[in-house]
């Protein structure tokens, strides 16, 4: 009895510091977003007294459905492309020699550690109207000199894939590494083609990795803001850009909170769905995968 | 049947895709032409200009101060969190604890940025270096906790019991046995926190106040409002530093582990 109480006490003691910190600085502020969207804005950019539905009404702004739709298609496309590229990479990395595998892993991790802004900027330089890529493509006659590679939705998609790809590669690689490749050989011995074995045996085998990759790419993509801000134009704005504009340009915090609340709900749906799915699949693995 | 060469081709094509923009950026930092459309001449003039830009040095000082504070605090909080998650795994409290540590890792940064801005505005806290540091601890904590937790998976708790059987008190066990054995994991987590803090733009931008410009905020305004060649030079320096840090952390987190 006494030992049990001591154990509980020490559990609380080591849990409390991080728990309280996150409760106060993560959960409370997130709840605050939902509260402040019902507050009036003051002319000086603050939060007024009383409650109002003004923000909720302005969310009916006719520009918003187009922006929400764009945010969704860009995120879906970026996630699909990342998984499409990361799956053969995971397969390759799981099958090569350990030395080669370490090299590829290091090469994948390095850009992921380098400055986010620097990587986006590198693309801005590359796609710039006076940049190298544009010159080359015009010389080859592939594009007309007046074509702009920058400031459109495809540039945003390209850079999103560039920055998110490591988040797809790592979980897919982690799952592939645990996959028993003898199963593929067995399938082939039984007459399956390489592609059939890949599709029917390998893909289901790394399902947990694919789900994690989906989560790690899709959710941050929904909240993209810097990428469309730097390489996108007015026709490629996403929800994130609107949140930033309401915060920094119009200084209407309740409105920014309303958009954030919308984004939070959009993010929580796939997150809860996938976590539940993964728990059901393999409760033990799920915990370990998340630790990657 | 011959194995498909497709995975090999995709892998190296993706790696080329990762590095081509970086290599061009680094090369351009030594090019005296403004946009690198053509190679004028090799020069260090952008580096010289960079050295004479006091606002960059000021931003760098702010960034390092924030990163140091955020790293130290998140190392303490993250390590105790990882210990709790591992030691008391399975309890209701730890399941909840795990979700509030895990969620900030996947949530878009802009949500954390805005929610913390609202929090500080509601409490009428003056925005500045301190608010940025507090915001950084909030996301760094999760990364440290996850890194240390991964390390704890191969930790043998029999050693702790052995120490206690031999008469070590609680304090001695923690200081002389547990922490030294976890040190590589804690350091790797700290290094990760430090790098993430130095690199963070979105959250910092939301909770920054007048006079608390950090390096990423400075780089962002340079990208938005001119001076591309200067950023090339600055980026090259940053790339060199991060590459060194990654190699150091790889070394730390692999040390003492069987070769993978």
Query: Quick count: other Cβ atoms within 10 Å of Cβ B28?
Result: 28
Q: Do A290 and B102 touch (CB under 8 A)?
A: yes
Q: Tell me which residue in A114, A132, A223 faces B110 most closely, judged by beta carbons.
A: A223
Please, is B255 exposed, middle or buried when counting C-beta atoms within 10 Å of its C-beta (0-12, 13-18, 19+)?
A: exposed
Residues B27, B50: Cα–Cα separation, whole Å: 16
Residues A266, A270: Cα–Cα separation, whole Å: 8
**What is the DSSP-derived secondary structure letter of residue A41?**
B
User: Per-residue pLDDT averaged across B69-97, rounded?
Assistant: 93
**What is the DSSP-derived secondary structure letter of residue B91?**
S
pLDDT of A93 over the 50 cut: yes
Please, is A39 exposed, middle or buried when counting C-beta atoms within 10 Å of its C-beta (0-12, 13-18, 19+)?
A: buried
Record the tokens describing residue A221, joined without a space.
């993509």
Closest-approach residue (CA) in chain A for B141: A18
Calculate what percentage of chain A has a pLDDT beyond 90: 49
Q: What Cα–Cα distance (Å) separates residue B18 from each residue in A41, A224, A254, B73, B192?
A: 44, 19, 39, 33, 21
Instruction: State the pLDDT at residue A264.
Output: 94
Evaluate whether residue A197 is within a structural domain: yes
**Residues on chain A touching B239 (C-beta within 8 angstroms):** 114-115, 118
Q: Angle between the B215-224 and B228-254 helix axes, to the nearest 10 degrees?
A: 140
Closest-approach residue (CA) in chain B for A226: B202
Evaluate whether residue A51 is within a structural domain: no
Higher pLDDT, B40 or A100: A100
Please, is A263 exposed, middle or buried when counting C-beta atoms within 10 Å of its C-beta (0-12, 13-18, 19+)?
A: buried
| Domain locations along chain B | 1-43, 53-254
Instruction: Identify whether the C-beta of residue B79 lies closer than 8 Å to the C-beta of residue B186.
Output: yes
Evaluate whether residue A10 is within a structural domain: no
pLDDT of A60 over the 80 cut: no
Evaluate whether residue A13 is within a structural domain: no
Q: Look at residues B110, B150, B138 and name the one whose alpha carbon lies nearest to residue B196.
A: B138
Instruction: Identify whether the C-beta of residue A230 lies closer than 8 Å to the C-beta of residue A120.
Output: yes
Record the tokens describing residue A229, joined without a space.
């801000």
Instruction: State the pLDDT at residue A32.
Output: 94
CATH number at A260 reads: 1.10.3720.10
**Residues on chain B touching A260 (C-beta within 8 angstroms):** 110-111, 114-115
Instruction: State the pLDDT at residue B260.
Output: 39
Could you say which architecture CATH assigns to the domain B53-254? Orthogonal Bundle (1.10)
Instruction: State the pLDDT at residue B106.
Output: 85
pLDDT of B259 over the 50 cut: no
Evaluate whether residue A38 is within a structural domain: no
Q: Do A28 and B119 touch (CB under 8 A)?
A: yes
Q: Look at residues B256, B259, B244 and name the one whose alpha carbon lies nearest to residue B151.
A: B256
The most confident of A95-109, A191-205, B68-82, by mean pLDDT: B68-82
Q: In total, how many domains does chain A have?
A: 1
**Residues on chain A touching B206 (C-beta within 8 angstroms):** 247
Q: Do B14 and A89 touch (CB under 8 A)?
A: yes
pLDDT of A283 over the 60 cut: no
**Residues on chain A touching B243 (C-beta within 8 angstroms):** 110, 114
pLDDT in tens, A181-212: 889 888 888 988 888 888 888 999 899 899 99
Concatenated DSSP letters for A113-150? HS-HHHHHHHHHHHHSTTSHHHHHHHHTTSS-TT--SS
SS3 category, B31: strand
Residues A288, B236: Cα–Cα separation, whole Å: 36
Q: Do B216 and A115 touch (CB under 8 A)?
A: yes
pLDDT band at A172 (very low <50, low <70, confident <90, very high): very high
Residue reference for tokens 């590679």: A149
Evaluate whether residue A220 is within a structural domain: yes
Instruction: Identify whether the C-beta of residue B101 lies closer than 8 Å to the C-beta of residue B195.
Output: no
Q: Do A89 and B10 touch (CB under 8 A)?
A: yes
Q: Do A256 and B7 touch (CB under 8 A)?
A: no
Instruction: Identify whether the C-beta of residue A78 lies closer than 8 Å to the C-beta of residue A278.
Output: no
pLDDT band at B213 (very low <50, low <70, confident <90, very high): very high
Q: Do B223 and A223 touch (CB under 8 A)?
A: no
Q: Look at residues B133, B197, B201, B132 and name the one whose alpha carbon lies nearest to residue A226.
A: B201
pLDDT band at A219 (very low <50, low <70, confident <90, very high): very high
Average pLDDT, chain B: 86
Q: Is B2 left (phi over 0), alpha (psi -120 to 50) or beta?
A: beta
Q: Which domain holds residue A232?
A: 65-290
Higher pLDDT, A27 or B235: A27
pLDDT in tens, A240-281: 999 999 999 988 999 999 999 999 999 999 888 887 887 776
pLDDT in tens, A120-168: 998 988 888 777 777 778 888 777 777 778 888 999 999 999 999 999 9
pLDDT in tens, B92-118: 999 999 999 999 988 999 999 999 999
Instruction: State the pLDDT at residue A287.
Output: 47
Q: What Cα–Cα distance (Å) separates residue B190 from each residue in A15, B148, B201, B252?
A: 19, 10, 19, 11
pLDDT of B245 over the 80 cut: no
Tell me how far the alpha carbon of residue A249 is from its chain's centroid.
25
pLDDT in tens, B140-197: 999 999 999 988 887 777 888 888 888 888 788 888 888 888 888 899 899 889 989 9
pLDDT in tens, A19-38: 999 999 999 999 999 999 99
pLDDT of A83 over the 70 cut: yes
Record the tokens describing residue B111, joined without a space.
């949500």
Instruction: Identify whether the C-beta of residue B186 lies closer than 8 Å to the C-beta of residue B77.
Output: no
Task: Provide the sign of the torsion angle of the four alpha carbons B129, B132, B138, B143, taken in this order.
Answer: negative
Question: What's phi and psi for A96, nearest 5 deg?
Answer: -80, 175
Beta-strand runs (E) in chain A: none
Residues B177, B255: Cα–Cα separation, whole Å: 17
pLDDT in tens, A46-56: 888 888 887 88
Instruction: State the pLDDT at residue B87.
Output: 87
Interface test with B, best of A7, A104, A108, A125 (most B CBs within 10 A): A125
Average pLDDT, chain A: 87
**Residues on chain A touching B6 (C-beta within 8 angstroms):** 88
* Strand-pair partners of A47: A41
């Amino acid at each position: 009895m006494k030992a049990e109480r001591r154990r509980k006490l020490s559990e609380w003691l080591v849990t409390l510091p991080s728990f309280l910190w996150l409760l106060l600085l993560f959960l409370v502020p997130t709840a605050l977003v939902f509260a402040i969207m019902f507050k009036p804005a003051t002319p000086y950019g603050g939060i007024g007294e009383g409650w109002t539905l003004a923000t909720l009404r302005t969310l009916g702004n006719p520009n918003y459905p187009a922006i929400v739709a764009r945010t969704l298609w860009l995120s879906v496309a970026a996630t699909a492309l990342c998984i499409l590229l990361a799956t053969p990479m995971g397969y390759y990395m799981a099958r090569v020699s350990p030395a080669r595998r370490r090299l590829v892993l290091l090469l994948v991790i390095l850009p992921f550690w380098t400055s986010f802004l620097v990587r986006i900027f590198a693309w801005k330089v590359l796609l710039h109207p006076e940049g190298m890529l544009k010159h080359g493509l015009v010389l080859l006659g592939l594009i007309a000199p007046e074509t702009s590679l920058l400031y459109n939705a495809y540039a945003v998609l390209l850079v999103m894939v560039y920055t998110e790809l490591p988040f797809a590669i790592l979980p897919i690689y982690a799952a592939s590494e645990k996959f028993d490749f003898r199963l593929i050989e067995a399938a082939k011995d039984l007459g399956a083609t390489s592609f059939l074995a890949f599709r029917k045996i390998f893909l289901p085998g790394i399902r947990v990795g694919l789900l994690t990759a989906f989560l790690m790419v899709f959710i941050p993509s929904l909240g993209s803001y810097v990428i469309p801000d730097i390489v996108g134009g007015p026709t490629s704005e996403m929800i994130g850009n609107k949140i930033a504009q309401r915060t920094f340009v119009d200084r209407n915090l309740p409105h920014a909170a309303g958009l954030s609340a919308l984004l939070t709900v959009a993010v929580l749906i796939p997150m809860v769905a996938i976590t539940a799915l993964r728990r059901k699949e393999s409760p033990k693995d799920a915990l370990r995968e998340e630790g990657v | 049947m011959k194995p498909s060469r497709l995975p090999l081709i995709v892998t190296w094509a993706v790696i080329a895709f990762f590095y081509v923009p970086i290599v061009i950026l680094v090369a351009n930092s030594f090019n005296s032409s403004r946009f690198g459309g053509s190679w004028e001449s090799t020069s260090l003039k952008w580096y010289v200009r960079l050295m004479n830009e006091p606002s960059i040095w000021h931003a760098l000082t702010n960034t390092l101060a924030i990163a140091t504070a955020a790293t130290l605090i998140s190392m303490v909080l993250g390590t105790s969190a990882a210990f709790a998650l591992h030691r008391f795994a399975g309890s209701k409290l730890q399941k909840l604890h795990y979700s509030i540590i895990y969620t900030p890792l996947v949530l878009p940064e802009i949500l954390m940025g805005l929610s913390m801005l609202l929090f500080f505005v509601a409490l009428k806290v003056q925005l500045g270096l301190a608010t940025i540091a507090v915001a950084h601890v909030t996301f760094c904590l999760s990364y440290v906790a996850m890194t240390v937790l991964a390390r704890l998976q191969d930790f043998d708790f029999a050693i702790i019991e052995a120490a206690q059987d031999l008469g070590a008190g609680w304090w001695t066990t923690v200081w002389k046995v547990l922490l030294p054995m976890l040190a590589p994991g804690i350091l790797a987590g700290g290094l990760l926190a430090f790098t993430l803090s130095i690199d963070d733009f979105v959250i910092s931008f939301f909770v920054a106040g007048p006079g608390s410009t950090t390096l990423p905020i400075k780089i962002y305004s340079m990208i938005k409002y001119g001076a591309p060649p200067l950023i090339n030079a600055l980026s090259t320096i940053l790339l060199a530093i991060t590459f060194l840090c990654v190699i150091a952390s790889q070394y730390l987190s692999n040390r003492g582990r069987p070769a993978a």
